[in-house]
Structure 1
Amino acid sequence: MPSRPLPPPPPPESVRAWPDRASLLADRARAMRELSRLSMGASQLTLLWLMAAGFAAGWGLVGGALKIFDESPDVLSAMFGVILACMGAGFLLPTGIVIGLGVRRDKVVRERLLQWSSLDRDPTTDGRFRSAGLSLCWFIPSFLLCALGLWLSIVTPAEAEPGRQTYVQVAVMMGLGMILWLTGLLGVAKAVRHYRWAVRLPAGAPTAAAGGAQG
C-alpha cells in the first residue's frame, strides 16, 4: 500500500557488531516501533477500508452496467453500460493491485518484526506491544464488517424472489457482501496475528544477539 521504506532486517549473526547490549536494544526498539506502526497503525486500517471502498465502488459500477445490459437492449443504453463497465474496471483493477501489493508488503513487515523481536528481550520496551488495545481496535470493526459481508452473501440469495429480484441484482449484492467479508477477514487475521505475537514477547530467554554486544 504505502511506499514508505521499511526498516531493514537485522544483520546476519556473523556480522553483528553492536558495541553493547544497550545499543542492540535501542535499535531493536526503534525497528519494532516503526514496524508495528506500519503494520497495525490506525492509518493502515483506514487505508485498507478506503481500498475496499474503491473496490466496492468499482463492483457497483460493473453491476450497474450488467443491469443495463440485462434490462435495456437498445444501442444507446448498451453504450452507456459499456462506459459504466469501463469506469468500474478503472476502480477494480488499481485497487485490487494495491490491495494485493499491500498484503505482500504486510507479510514482509511481519517477518521483520519477528526477526527483530527474537534478537533479545526488553521488558520495558516490550510492554508497549503487549497491550490488547491495538489488536481490539482492529478486531472489533473488522469482525463486524466480516459479519455484515457474510450476512449479505447468505441472506441476499436466500430471500430473493422471482419477479422482484433479478439474477444480476442478487449477484451484485453477493459480490458486495464478499468484498466486505474479505476486507473484514484481512483485518481480523492481522489483529489475531499481532495479538499472538505480542503475548509471546515475554517468552523465551534473552539471547547474546551480537558479537560486539557481549563485550
Structure 2
Amino acid sequence: MPRSALPPLPPPAHLRPWLDDAVLRADRARFLNDLSRRNLGIGRLLLLWAVAAVFVLGWTFVGMAWMALERHDLFEYVYGLIYAVLGVGVLIPAVFWFVRGARRDRKVRQLLYAWVESDHDPVADGRLRAPGQSLVWLLASFALGAIGLWVAFGAAASAGGPSRTTMGEIAYVMGTGQILWITGLLGLAKAVVHYRWAVRTFPPKG
C-alpha cells in the first residue's frame, strides 16, 4: 500500500470467520497506528498551521492592495492591482488545500472508528487514547487562538485611537488575527472531539 494511501475498510462481519485471526489482528493494529498518526499526529498539527500560514500570506497581499488603493495615486493603484491578483492567487489554492484536508480528516476518522469497532485488542487500543498528543493539540491551539484574539482585538481597539492607522492596516491586522483564531479553534475542536471519543470508546476500568 502506498505511504500516502489510506487503509481499507475492515472486512465485513460475515467474512471474518473465514479469515486468519492473527493476520486480521495484526492488520488492525497496523492500520489503527497509521490512522491515529494521521488523525492526531504532530505532523497534522504542523500541516494545519502551514495552511493557515498560506492564508496569512494571501491575506497579506490583499491587505497591501487595500493600503495601496488608500494612497490615491496612479502608480499605487497599479501596485494594488498586482497585490490583489497575487492575494487571490494564493488564497484560492489555500482554500482548496483546506477543503481537501478537511475531507481527508473526515475519511480518516471514519476509518479509525470502523477499525476500532471491528475487534478488541487491549494493547493496540490503549495507544489510541493518545492523551499526550491530544494535550499538545489542546495547548498549542489554545495559545495560537489566544494570540489571534489578542491581535484582532488590538487592531479593533486601535481603530478608535488618535493614531494614523488606516482602514487597510486595521483590516489586515484584524484579518490576520481572525485567521490565527480560527486555526486555533479548529485545533481545539479536534482535540476535544478526540478526547470525548476516547472516553466514550475506551472507558476507564474499575
Tell me the TM-score normalized by structure 2: 0.89
Query: What corresponds to 1:118 in structure 2?
Result: 117
Provide the rounded CA distance (Å) in 2 between the counterparts of 1:65 and 1:175. 14
Bigger drift between 192-201 and 25-34 goes to: 192-201
Is contact 1:145-1:181 (8 Å) kept? yes
> Using CA pairs below 8 Å that are at least 6 residues apart, which structure has the higher relative contact order?
1
Provide the rounded CA distance (Å) in 2 between the counterparts of 1:4 and 1:55. 24
Q: Does 1:187 align with 2:184?
A: no
Displacement of 1:98 in angstroms is: 0.2
Query: What corresponds to 1:146 in structure 2?
Result: 145
Is contact 1:59-1:172 (8 Å) kept? yes
Query: What corresponds to 1:177 in structure 2?
Result: 177
Provide the rounded CA distance (Å) in 2 between the counterparts of 1:155 and 1:163. 13
Provide the rounded CA distance (Å) in 2 between the counterparts of 1:181 and 1:47. 16
Query: What corresponds to 1:212 in structure 2?
Result: none
**Counting helix residues as a fraction of each chain, which structure ranks higher?**
2
Displacement of 1:11 in angstroms is: 2.5
Percent sequence identity over aligned pairs: 47
Is contact 1:38-1:44 (8 Å) kept? yes
Displacement of 1:67 in angstroms is: 0.3
Alignment length, in residue pairs?
201
1:74-110, Cα deviation, whole Å (9 max, x unpaired): 2222111111111111211101110111011101111
Displacement of 1:151 in angstroms is: 2.2
Is contact 1:146-1:185 (8 Å) kept? yes
Displacement of 1:69 in angstroms is: 0.2
Provide the rounded CA distance (Å) in 1 between the counterparts of 2:24 and 2:199. 22
3-state DSSP of counterpart to 2:118: coil
Provide the rounded CA distance (Å) in 1 between the counterparts of 2:120 and 2:200. 11
- Deviating above 4 A after TM superposition, structure 1's stretches of 4 or more consecutive aligned residues are none
Structure 2 counterparts to residues 45-124 of structure 1, below 5 A:
45-71=45-71, 73-124=72-123
Is contact 1:123-1:202 (8 Å) kept? no
Provide the rounded CA distance (Å) in 1 between the counterparts of 2:62 and 2:130. 43
Query: What corresponds to 2:128 in structure 1?
Result: 129
Provide the rounded CA distance (Å) in 2 between the counterparts of 1:163 and 1:152. 17
1:138-190, Cα deviation, whole Å (9 max, x unpaired): 11111110111122222321232255222222111111111001111111112
Structure 2: unaligned runs, 5 residues or longer: none
Is contact 1:59-1:92 (8 Å) kept? yes
Provide the rounded CA distance (Å) in 1 between the counterparts of 2:29 and 2:18. 14
Is contact 1:130-1:201 (8 Å) kept? no
Amino acid at match of 2:82: I
Provide the rounded CA distance (Å) in 2 between the counterparts of 1:131 and 1:37. 10
Amino acid at match of 2:132: G
Amino acid at match of 2:35: L
Provide the rounded CA distance (Å) in 2 between the counterparts of 1:38 and 1:131. 12
Provide the rounded CA distance (Å) in 1 between the counterparts of 2:109 and 2:178. 26
Is contact 2:158-2:165 (8 Å) kept? no
Aligned CA distance change for structure 1 residues 150 and 31 (closer, same or farther; 3 Å): same
Bigger drift between 166-175 and 152-161 goes to: 152-161
Query: What corresponds to 1:38 in structure 2?
Result: 38
Structure 1: unaligned runs, 5 residues or longer: 205-215
Q: CA RMSD in A?
A: 2.0
Amino acid at match of 2:58: G
Bigger drift between 151-160 and 131-140 goes to: 151-160
Tell me the TM-score normalized by structure 1: 0.85
